[in-house]
Chains A and B, each alone.
Chain A
Amino acid sequence: MRIKNKMTTKFKRPDGRAIDELRPIEAKVGVVPNADGSAMYKSGDTIAIAAVYGPKKMHPQHQQNPLKGTLRCDYNMISFSVSDRIRPGKNRRSMEISEITKWALEPVLLLDKYQNQVIDVFIDIIQADAGTRCAGINAAAMALAHAGIPMKDMVSSVSVGKLDKTLVVDLTKEEEDFHEGEGPTDIPISMIHSGRITHMQLDGKIGVKQLKEAIDLGKIACEKVYEIQKKALKDAIDMENGGKE
């Protein structure tokens, strides 16, 4: 009996990570030469590429907003991003995530000076292993900064999960398919550097107390993501130095 208790408290993740440990992250800025700003964000086996075009004139004209600029996001999973080929193009899920990404990023953007204009953000998931919307948001935030769009802060995103009763950070696909005890719960959270939340979703069941814990875990994880985003943006300029300085 005692041994069993010990096992439930010492929860073991399939890839051996600690419960608050993120997957290995790589981030790079300026990966799409033709875009005004672009970024790649890789977290474990999930890879997202974001490209920003604009500000440019909004087309079609009836969508122009004379008060402020518009942000337009397009999330897309490439057909080869998962092991079973997915049908290319828009679907219900991708359209929802596009909108969610827009809501996550819009609060930090200063678009007052871009009347009747639009900023296009294209997010392509070239390899998916859960947490694609978070990777997409992280890449898009970096790409927007790289495109020189005025922003109040960066946005960092991470998914917090509950596997049975244990809270873990940055779920993989394998963990999302966990089906013991209470099953899996996925909570993608996006927040700005100061800790204010711009986006949160919940897929599953969780109590109020534990949700607060999950947000605190997310806050610490987002801080780590922020440092990586910051480093990627700063390194881009040192690289252009040609390593000569």
Chain B
Amino acid sequence: MDRKVVIPGEIIAEGEDLLPGEHTEKIDGKVISLRYGLAEEQNSLVKVIPLSGVYSPRRGNVVIGKIENLTNNGWVVDIGSADSAFLSLMEVPRYVNKDAMEEVFKIDELLIAKIWSIGKRGIDLSIKSRGYGKIEEGMVFSVNSNKVPRIIGKEGSMINIIKEKTGCEIDVAQNGYVWITGPSIDDELYAKKAINFVTEKSFIHGLTDEVTKWFDENKK
């Protein structure tokens, strides 16, 4: 797989049979990049993988957000994107008195949720499945949301190494927030350090080997 850095307006490839993928456009048989990132050609589909920029929400993403406001039928949640998300009161499985919504989520509390729909009206969140809901313990910090795929690795290979070596439970949300819960604060900080190492070195080939090496060099 051949990847190269492209800037906006740069011609990535030429050819009538090429298809323009994400963040590209085709003019006169030339595929042109519309964003700064890594260009990739796969089965005559040319696309650009962005490396920077704010998080843009997509349906099905798992996100960590902060309660911004309470309304009479739900909560407004800040998920780090330009638009705020909304968590409906209906998502809470038990009966909630509208005067006592703080009992479920208070302002500034964190939660992990799934983006259930994106429309003209806004972004709607869901916490109905297992694993979603309020974050009550552990540590949450943010990383560049474009590097989330690297932290997770191919089929979770990278995150599994970190989980195994640190003994922590780690949730990486698509919007760049990472939630770590471990046996002690030191373990959590150790996991955070490892994740920051991954984000710094995110362009190296064979990053998983590099991370294993890092764990050997930086013991707790």
Contact B82–A230 (Cβ < 8 Å): no
Any B CB within 8 A of the CB of A173: no
CA distance A237 to B4 in the complex (A): 10
Binary interface profile of A, 232-245, with partner B (CB < 8 Å = 1, else 0)? 01100110111011
Contact A230–B10 (Cβ < 8 Å): yes
Contact A240–B54 (Cβ < 8 Å): no
Chain B residue total in the interface (Cβ 8 A): 27
A16 to chain B, nearest CB (A): 33
Any B CB within 8 A of the CB of A165: no
Any A CB within 8 A of the CB of B132: no
CA distance A237 to B52 in the complex (A): 11
- Closest B residue by C-beta to A233: B7
**Chain B contacts of A230 at CB under 8 A?**
7, 10
Contact A147–B53 (Cβ < 8 Å): yes
Any B CB within 8 A of the CB of A149: yes
CA distance A114 to B23 in the complex (A): 15
Any A CB within 8 A of the CB of B100: no
Binary interface profile of B, 20-37, with partner A (CB < 8 Å = 1, else 0)? 000100000000101111
Binary interface profile of B, 34-61, with partner A (CB < 8 Å = 1, else 0)? 1111100000000000111110000000
Interface residues of B (CB under 8 A from A): 5, 7-10, 23, 32, 34-38, 50-54, 82-84, 146, 200-205
Q: What would 16 more interface pairs be, CB under 8 Å, given A55-B82, A56-B82?
A: A36-B54, A37-B52, A55-B54, A57-B84, A146-B52, A147-B52, A148-B36, A148-B50, A148-B146, A151-B8, A151-B34, A154-B8, A237-B38, A240-B202, A244-B201, A245-B204
